[in-house]
Structure 1
Amino acid sequence: MSNTASASTGTEPLTLITGSGRGLGRALVAAALARGRRVVGLARSGAGALVETVELDLADAGAIAAVPGRLPAGPVDLVIHNAGVRGPVNGLDGVTPEAFGEVMSVNVLAPLLLTRALLPRLAPGATVVFISSRAGSCAEGADPDRDDLYGMSKAALNRGMVKLSQHHPQRFLALHPGWLRTDMGGGEADLDPAEAAEGLMEQIDDSGLPSGWFGDYAGAKVGW
């Protein structure tokens, strides 16, 4: 475990955020810290997170399984699965075995495997958040950019979240962060990552959101 900030030595609950070194992940780290949370970032080597960091390649199933043993002491009361890849943007022309495997592995399989690995460390009232997208909604996911594989992956992730909510006592949420000015979203996007992160944390802190909820950063429900 590397550390770019002084680590706590207590056993207070942990907040875990994947993809914590840039974009929305970095903004989520800042928003969680501002709420007094003890944050551990999960990011690739050299990502430069603001807090103590466990290096993690989400394409490595073995590394995912080893995460719980690499965390500092304390129960995990919040997990935010933020890391993801966009994949090809040319519709069906981009659906190759290699591209399909990469997008589904990082966007769907990795967060499910990490959730499974973390179950013994989760506090009974923990919340597990999957950063999803309206692109994964069959009802609302219009996609002029033809991010076909990305949309498919988020639809699968949403379904996985619902199954987890049906079989485990913790709270599971899928949240759409909006169109963000990040490397993935581009410079013409509507929202700054910090604004989206604040909205997402407000939804996470809303105890009234039930397990299995799919909504956006502003609190609106997203149709399936």
Structure 2
Amino acid sequence: MSNFQQGNYNNKIDYVFKIVLIGDSAVGKSQLLARFARDEFSLDSKATIGVEFQTKTVVIHHKNVKAQIWDTAGQERYRAVTSAYYRGAVGAMLVYDITKRQSFDNVARWLEELRGHADKNIIIMLVGNKSDLETLRAVPTEDAKEFAEKEGLCFMETSALESTNVELAFLTVLTEIYRIVSKKALTANDESESGGSSSLLKATNIVVPGQEPESGRRSYNCCTSS
């Protein structure tokens, strides 16, 4: 974890990455966000109404990266926000509750919605939350691993209550995004000299101060080697 540090707020922000949280209501999306952004957890957390977002700045490979993390209610009646909610997102945390089989069964529907609204190259982490409730487990880890491998997703089990793997899950997604973007920038620089054309990801939803977003993209699945 030596590449990850808290952001230095005296320095400029090099990148802003928008991450969205999706999944059924009460799987712990807001608690994951609170744990990552503020290192907080509330046992009496109320359901999210509408949409909210928080930010956290971290250092990845000596670059200040601001994560802008969006959280929305999982209830059906709030799903009209989808288009604006997904717009500009380069990462997604698709969350289910390991003690609620239905929340895992609904993951496929959430993934279909995500892929229907978001950029096709978005980096997606499947998150099995509430790993502290092992005795109540209803979703075997292997089931989730198999689904993630089939769909080309990253996968991790977390506990917002015990702060297990929460930071690692977010930072894994942020680092995968950064790796693609930094590689893209390097290749673009090389090919601008040779006159070639790059086939690497051109993420229109990455904000780089002083630069305009580029167009053209390629498909990429993270964590395929794990």
TM-score, with length taken from structure 1? 0.49
Bigger Rg, which one: 2
